[in-house]
């Protein structure tokens, strides 16, 4: 059974600082997805990582995937208040296009 | 814009009542999903459907049923609602043949409260 763990679960950081959110998964998969959720809102797709070594960047966020380590990171550079949200990673099984298993999420709060 | 919509957006009901949550999409995707979200538990899959004739249970299907009326419509029913079904419910779609593979697109959610 595929398990997906994120850490930290809660992160409070100051504006301007850098930090990394980690997503570990338990069985082999070569793809991973990151989503953002604002309070009371739906999930919005952030990054689609489709191979080992994939790196995607948008603004102050950068995501990477290491399929051998079963690890993805979401790096935040020079955080700003607008990045406050909950971030989820999601992993599919290696074979087949079935269903995603979501991590429990990281609630990120950026404080001035 | 092609979209995923859910109705109702908010619903308060009483224990034992039957309730239906509806999901419609204009994305033309074959695959549709129902999730529930509880604080601290992330998203848990209730049911999923790969096409109109293919419906599958997810990890927490007990107490729920679904109907795929058409490619664009996927409904979730609670036959006899109970308080621990109070949660935020999301519908999602995906197109595995797109370049983005398993990426899922989410509706706005339905906040359900069972008293």
Q: DSSP assignment, residue A82? A: G
The CA distance from A50 to A30, in Å, is: 6
Mean pLDDT, rounded, for B52-58: 93
Mean pLDDT, rounded, for B44-52: 94
Per-residue tokens: A96: 């087949």
Mean pLDDT, rounded, for B93-100: 86
Q: Which helix (H) or strand (E) holds B75?
A: strand B73-78
Give Cα B112 to chain centroid, integer Å. Answer: 12
The beta strand positions in A15-60, using DSSP E, are: 19-25, 32-37, 43-49, 55-58
Choose the closest CB to A97 out of B102, B105, B108: B102
Q: Could you give the strand order of the β-sheet that contains B19-25, starting from the edge strand earlier in sequence?
A: B4-7, B19-25, B73-78, B64-70
| Ranges of H-type helices in B1-115 | none
The answer to whether A12 touches A111, Cβ cutoff 8 Å, is: yes
- Residue A6's contacts (CB-CB under 8 Å, 6 or more residues apart) are A21, A22, A23, A24, A87, A88, A89, A103, A104, A105, A106
Choose the closest CB to B42 out of A45, A97, A102: A102
- The chain B residue lying nearest A1, using CA atoms, is B59
Nearest-CA distance B16 → chain A (Å):
26
pLDDT (0 to 100) of residue A112: 86
Mean pLDDT, rounded, for B81-87: 97
The answer to whether B60 touches B43, Cβ cutoff 8 Å, is: no
Query: In the predicted model, is pLDDT for residue B50 greater than 80?
Result: yes
pLDDT (0 to 100) of residue B17: 97
Cβ neighbours of A58 (radius 10 Å): 9
pLDDT tens by residue, chain A, 112 residues: 889 999 999 999 999 999 999 999 998 888 999 999 998 899 999 999 988 899 999 999 999 999 999 999 999 999 999 999 999 999 998 776 568 999 999 999 999 8
- Please state whether the peptide bond connecting residue A8 to the residue before it is cis, i.e. omega within 30 degrees of 0: yes
Choose the closest CB to A50 out of B41, B92, B101: B101
pLDDT (0 to 100) of residue A97: 57
* B67 close contact with A: CB closer than 8 A: no
Query: In the predicted model, is pLDDT for residue B20 greater than 90?
Result: yes
Query: In the predicted model, is pLDDT for residue B51 greater than 80?
Result: yes
């Amino acid at each position: 059974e595929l398990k997906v763990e994120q850490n930290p679960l809660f992160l409070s950081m100051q504006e301007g600082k850098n930090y990394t959110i980690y997503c570990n998964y338990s069985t082999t998969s070569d793809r991973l997805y990151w989503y953002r959720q604002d309070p009371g809102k739906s999930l919005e797709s952030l990054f689609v990582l489709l191979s080992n070594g994939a790196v995607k960047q948008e603004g102050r966020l950068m995501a990477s995937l290491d399929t051998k380590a079963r690890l993805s990171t979401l790096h935040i550079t020079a955080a700003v208040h607008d990045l406050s949200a909950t971030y989820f990673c999601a992993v599919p099984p290696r074979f087949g296009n079935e269903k995603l298993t979501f991590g429990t999420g990281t609630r990120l709060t950026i404080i001035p | 814009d092609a979209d995923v919509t859910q109705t109702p957006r908010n619903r308060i009901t009483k224990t034992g009542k039957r309730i239906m949550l509806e999901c419609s999409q204009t994305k033309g995707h074959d695959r549709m999903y129902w999730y529930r979200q509880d604080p601290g538990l992330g998203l848990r899959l209730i049911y999923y459907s790969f096409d109109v004739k293919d419906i599958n249970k997810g990890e927490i299907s007990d107490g729920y049923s679904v109907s795929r009326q058409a490619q664009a419509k996927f409904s979730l029913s609670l036959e006899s609602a109970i308080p621990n079904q109070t949660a935020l419910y999301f519908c999602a779609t995906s197109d595995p043949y797109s370049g983005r593979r398993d990426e899922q697109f989410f509706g706005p959610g339905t906040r359900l409260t069972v008293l």
